Structure 1
């Protein structure tokens, strides 16, 4: 009788407290996963020289990686919303391990594409389930929890230029195979996470069933919510297109315009991505204080002056503007995820898949298009054009405010 009475108390306590140990571990796994995924664009300058690939072919590689990851993320998220699969996390990273190993030894363009597809598949499994783990461990601090989880991923992405400068430049393509060590470490950590996840499901099974039943009656499919989701996805797409253009092609721009070495150009890109990681971390707590809609609007519109001017200033000023652009733009990264999850409660995996996965898919499409534009008119013109994308942040003013979203969440 005492044990039965203690069980609800345990559930309540767990749901309210923030489990930082789990958040930090899943954040570290996110770092390792995205660092491995970032090896692909980091290798572009190496592959362009060693295999003679065109910008269009590089765009196709980025498309293959991100499109597989993005298309599958909402599918995986929808499935695991209905039937959570804790051990899918280490299985997904095992696919990534095989992909990065293949990338290190690929001898032609086709083998590279197949290898990055494996990496994309692993990422598509990890992201929605990783976001669910962060949600489960968040307690009452969802914004902070998502920031901890997402900053891991963005830090991993920021490591890509250093990976190029310190590993890929001296070792060449074979250097990619060294990241099987990182993948193996992530698999071990995710086995631990999966055990916790599985135990948590056993403890909270009744609560989860009740929440799922409640979510069927929510206003999550109303016209107002659909409109808000469409707007938030548009903003995410604009942000993803810009970041995709900078991540995949700015190094080439810096080499051509500023006469930089590959190593120096990667340090500029590293500054942009590290600043973005800091922005991701601070975005969640700032949204808790000032509101999600305000942070989303600010992150897009305050970026505009810097993103437009970056191609037209000297290299040392461009470095400063890259820092500012990365930080400001990425303050909305974790915020948009939480905003979407609150718009449609009970669909954590699906909303994560849409806001993170589908966004990267649009970035993948952008990679092909931007690569084609760079081949057609010039890398300088392409980089100049993408600076206007954050102007789409004007549509953020049409989003429902936080109080309205809270009313939808609590009143249905």
Structure 2
């Protein structure tokens, strides 16, 4: 075994193999070989004795965060237009902003800033929408790959019910999507994902073509589902043959036929919840954006109790921050608010939501988000100012999640490789 193949971190190791509790290893060694975790040891095994150790002292070692839904192209419009609700916000701000990505110079500038902020915030894997523009989508992939961030990136598809300057020719949209797939499908870290923006902006022909691509190339799918009451009504008007919103995606093989993430899932019928469970579709909770656009609160506990898989997303720019720790906080707070009115919905705990932000969301990428043997070493080293009262590792984690900043993250690893920052 070559020394360069092994990474050893020493410190207070905290992660969530299961939702209900944390695993804590104080003053222990986390060892990875070829990017994958070999084990956690209180005493370093003999075969690793001559390999250098990154000693984190009293710091924490936790898994990197996984953001399952964001719009990289909306990074520049954070905080703008948030007095609107969803459909007006798209019309007044978002489509106009995304149109700027026809300029590769603008795309490069924005996507570089987005990627650096993702890294700063401790996000090691991200599922991102780009725009309809093939060239600028390629630029986003190149920047993420160069910086070593794990990602699924979608070239957005929309050919109906949108401004003329953002409306694609259906066949050209499919052709450019297929070209993008060919270019990135074999990359080890940054991969394509099928991305119909949402049902109202896609023709039946486009949805059918995208479903065929997902099946042919065995690609995952991302889109939006049941975010806003007006949006749901619009879908019913546009697709009267479908009783439920999710059935639009389902009939075009974009709902679990390959791994699928659907953002928001705020207004969900019992039938829709059952279909998500049966098709193993992942619901992505985006608390900031749902509050900012007055969309509602995802019934997260209800989804979990009904066997639906859930991850977390920042949803820039309807969300105003790429901080996954703050997304964790908002998720817990909103679950407490719902529990006041929905007595059957117990508030979520920190371990449960930390799990969603690491291993739960990481499952979409494979063996990601935990420190169990065989998992990819995506890790953050957290060092905070000494507290007035000594804190246990779990207390340090609580304080970081609620009060920490990117400055507390002193090292970042993705696939066992340290990310320069």
Q: TM-score with structure 2 length normalisation?
A: 0.24
Larger fraction in strand: 2
Q: TM-score with structure 1 length normalisation?
A: 0.24
Higher relative contact order (CA closer than 8 Å, sequence separation 6+): 1
